[in-house]
Amino acid sequence: MKLEEFKKKRFGEDPELKKEYDKLDLEYKIISQVIDLRNKKKITQKQLAELVNTKQPSIARLESGDYNPTVDFLKKIAEVLGADLEINFISKAS
């Protein structure tokens, strides 16, 4: 069974699960982008940590979702990885 099929089945069975999953969507997107950019630059967590003046466990916690980074920290990471950090507020349909 593919992931999308599994999610559709599980979310259909448990609407609360879908609600909680959706709450974490932004965090997962940020984490995925940091990991992808770091891998494209072919640098390790330790190297990224040195470039943003922190320690490797901080990068590991960020990438595992165990750390809620500040905007300043994300800006440093974006700069080092050659990316722009963009944050938007998008109105919800009412």
Contact predicate 80/36, CB 8 Å: no
Dump pLDDT digits (tens) for 2-46.
Answer: 878 888 888 888 888 888 887 888 899 999 999 999 999 999 999
Burial track 59-69 (b if 16+ CB lie within 10 A, e otherwise): beebbeeeeeb
pTM over 0.85: no
Identify each DSSP E strand in 1-94 by its residue range: none
When comparing pLDDT for 87 and 8, which is higher? 87
